[in-house]
Amino acid sequence: MGRWIALFILLSIGGAAISVWRGWLEVPAHFNPWAPLDVKAPPNWLTGYKLMRLRGDPELCAQALRSSALRVTPQSDSSGAKCPLIGALRVQGGEVALSSSFLASCPLAVAYAMFERHSLQPAAQAIYGQNVARLDHLGSFACRNIYNRESGTLSRHASADALDIAGFRLADGRTVSVLKDWPKQNQDAQFLRQVRDGACEAFSVVLSPDYNAAHRNHFHVDVGRWSVCR
């Protein structure tokens, strides 16, 4: 009897999934795994899957990016370069200003927009009662191997899939630095840890000073295929 109940449940779930996929059954877009990601919608258990889908679908990624407040400029392809960039964007900022614009793949730009809206600003409001006005970074695209080694695997920076975040400026002008404030036991250190943890919801890899000494002054965030949050 139990086997028949289990089979019925599986068939019901499968039928519902097919109905949603074919459009026969309407569900809210943020609960539909096949609906495009809406950056403005609150994240849920499907968000990670929707972010992952963007890596192999430029059109779907562009659609998701249009739902954000991020200002971007498409860049010319450099397919013949040592580290080719196809479909790269120059991110000029959104609700949070940047210390400078940076190059990004479309998936990185979408992940950054999600991070800014759903992790960074909520953390600032929770800890300080105000928004972050500017994000300071150390750059994104760099045609190099991991840790600048002479040989080995290319860094995610070599494909503009990574960004190094160094600190933040709050609306009242106060600055928070990963290098200076991470080791402390105060409000700023609490904020940085909350930001690091929130970044793990948007990016596939987040490396902080807890990872190793090479990251003592920044958060490395990227949209590679591995998943690390430390």
In a domain, 136, yes or no: yes
Which pLDDT value is given to residue 101?
98
Distances (CA, A) of 79 to 62, 106, 139, 143: 20, 16, 21, 13
Which pLDDT value is given to residue 12?
36
In a domain, 192, yes or no: yes
- Is the per-residue pLDDT at 222 higher than 70? yes
In a domain, 20, yes or no: no
Tokens representing 170? 């709050």
In a domain, 169, yes or no: yes
User: Which of 159, 167, 161 has the alpha carbon at shortest distance from 204?
Assistant: 161
In a domain, 28, yes or no: no
- Is the per-residue pLDDT at 20 higher than 60? no
Q: Residue 68 and residue 65: Cα distance in Å, rounded?
A: 5
In a domain, 131, yes or no: yes
Which pLDDT value is given to residue 24?
41
- Is the per-residue pLDDT at 25 higher than 50? no
> pLDDT category, 150, cuts 50, 70, 90?
confident
Which pLDDT value is given to residue 151?
85
> pLDDT category, 91, cuts 50, 70, 90?
very high
Tokens representing 221? 């965030």
- Dump pLDDT digits (tens) for 178-213: 999 999 999 999 999 999 999 999 999 999 999 999
> pLDDT category, 163, cuts 50, 70, 90?
very high
Mean pLDDT, residues 32-49 = 94
Which pLDDT value is given to residue 22?
45
- Is the per-residue pLDDT at 27 higher than 90? no
- Is the per-residue pLDDT at 5 higher than 50? no
Neighbours of 48 (CB within 10 A): 14
Q: Residue 41 and residue 36: Cα distance in Å, rounded?
A: 11
In a domain, 216, yes or no: yes
How many angstroms separate the first and last alpha carbons of the chain? 47
Q: Read off the CATH number of the domain in which 203 is found.
A: 3.30.1380
Domain, as residue range, for 152: 73-229
In a domain, 46, yes or no: no
- Is the per-residue pLDDT at 52 higher than 70? yes
Contacts of 164 (CB under 8 A, 6+ apart): 137, 138, 139, 140, 157, 218, 219, 220, 221
Q: 132 or 82: which carries more pLDDT confidence?
A: 132
